[in-house]
Amino acid sequence: MPEDKPKPPSLPAPQTRPDDGQGAVVVERQAAKTEPPRMYQVVMLNDDYTPMEFVVMVLQEYFKHDIETATQIMLKIHHEGRGVCGVFTKDVAATKVELVLAAARRAGHPLQCTMEAA
């Protein structure tokens, strides 16, 4: 997967200061700057069988949306075929996908969700 390619660490230029008058030039290297983590969308897909109420419950329970937002996202998925439930770091997104799929299977619904690089 190309999105798994690790980025090389960014090495900031050494900071130079003027001669300190003590016969030495001070050169410091700052710690490498930390890149923000790559983010992943959890995307939910429409199907003909999962009840709307179940999708709204999932969006509230696992993505912490309020009922109005959850209903809007569910309707968007229903009409457009897919919708974004939230954007997370890789591990969190993968865990959300697993939890949603497990809940759907337990309830006997074919609901599908997946993650993709944001």
Q: How far is the CB of 2 from ligand TYC (least distance, A)?
A: 27
Total interface residues for ligand TYC by CB under 6 A:
13
E strands in 1-111: 15-16, 27-28, 39-45, 82-89
Query: Binding pattern to ligand TYC, positions 34-53, x when CB under 6 A?
Result: ----------xxxxx-xxx-
Q: How far is the CB of 116 from ligand TYC (least distance, A)?
A: 15
Inter-CA distances, 74 with 51, 70, 87, 105, Å: 10, 6, 16, 18
Inter-CA distances, 118 with 7, 68, 90, 115, Å: 16, 24, 10, 9
Q: Pick out residues in 74-113 that bind ligand TYC (CB under 6 A).
A: 74, 77-78, 111
Q: Is 97 helix (H, G, I), strand (E, B) or coil?
A: helix
Q: How far is the CB of 58 from ligand TYC (least distance, A)?
A: 8
Q: How far is the CB of 85 from ligand TYC (least distance, A)?
A: 9
Q: What whole-number distance in Å separates Cα of residue 56 and Cα of residue 45?
A: 13
The site for ligand TYC (CB under 6 A) is made up of: 44-48, 50-52, 55, 74, 77-78, 111
